[in-house]
């Protein structure tokens, strides 16, 4: 039973290319269902891991990797279809790349590194998923994109705040507390 959350994250990874394939071939309703399932699985795997008391570093990494790939592929496809502007994709990609390299550096130099997402990061991912769902609903002619710029703005703000918080925490971990920034001349 302890491996079920990791299987859910792994299945989300397997669904990503299927989602992209359906999107580029115009099967938007199927894409909506697949993305909805992937979005639910993002919440489900973590809750299940906590419930089963089977949280693991492998599971945390697998979940984070699945999230980042799911979001970046979704945004790339939507941008290539001219549904979203490319700058939103680049902002998210730069943020995820910075976090990824921060994690690699942290693993390399830190004795104890625990993968634990921050609230702003979870909020950012949630808002990104909502934006993709809204775009998919639009492609299925269920809603209009009336407030899309407002949602894009929320995605940008939460994404930027999350990278700033990651950078602050990274700096806090690697710069000694007694480090003095002033020079003695």
Whether 180 maps to a domain, the answer reads no
Whether 185 maps to a domain, the answer reads no
Please state the domain count of the chain: 1
Q: At 8, which CATH number? A: 1.20.120.1760
pTM: 0.86
Domain that holds residue 19: 4-173
Residue/partner pairs of 42-47 with CB below 8 Å, 24 or more apart: 42/12, 42/66, 42/67, 42/70, 42/125, 42/129, 44/8, 45/5, 45/6, 45/8, 45/9, 45/12, 46/5
Residue 111 — pLDDT band, cuts 50, 70, 90? very low
Q: So what's the pLDDT on residue 178?
A: 56
Q: What are phi and psi of 184, to 5 degrees?
A: -100, 110
Whether 181 maps to a domain, the answer reads no
Burial of 153-171, coded b for 16+ CB within 10 Å and e otherwise, reads: ebbbebbebbbeebeeebe
Whether 178 maps to a domain, the answer reads no
pLDDT digits (tens, 9 = 90+) for 113-170: 555 678 888 899 999 999 999 999 999 999 988 888 999 999 999 999 998 888 887 7
Whether 97 maps to a domain, the answer reads yes
Whether 70 maps to a domain, the answer reads yes
Whether 103 maps to a domain, the answer reads yes
Q: So what's the pLDDT on residue 175?
A: 63
Q: Is the pLDDT score of 21 beyond 80?
A: yes
Q: What is the mean pLDDT of the chain?
A: 86
Whether 179 maps to a domain, the answer reads no
Q: So what's the pLDDT on residue 114?
A: 58
């Amino acid at each position: 039973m302890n491996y079920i959350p990791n299987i859910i994250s792994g299945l989300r990874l397997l669904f990503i290319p299927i989602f992209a394939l359906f999107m580029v071939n115009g099967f938007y309703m199927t894409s909506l269902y697949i993305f909805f399932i992937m979005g639910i699985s993002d919440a489900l795997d973590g809750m299940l891991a906590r419930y089963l008391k089977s949280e693991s570093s492998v599971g945390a990494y697998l979940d984070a990797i699945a999230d980042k790939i799911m979001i970046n592929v979704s945004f790339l496809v939507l941008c290539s279809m001219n549904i979203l502007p490319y700058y939103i994709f680049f902002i998210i990609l730069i943020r995820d790349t910075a976090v990824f390299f921060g994690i690699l550096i942290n693993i390399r130099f830190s004795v104890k590194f625990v993968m634990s997402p921050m609230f702003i990061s979870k909020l950012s991912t949630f808002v990104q998923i909502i934006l993709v769902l809204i775009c998919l609903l639009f492609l299925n002619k269920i809603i209009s994109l009336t407030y899309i710029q407002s949602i894009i703005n929320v995605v940008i703000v939460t994404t930027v705040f999350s990278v700033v918080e990651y950078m602050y925490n990274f700096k806090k971990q690697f710069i000694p507390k007694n480090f003095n920034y002033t020079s003695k001349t």
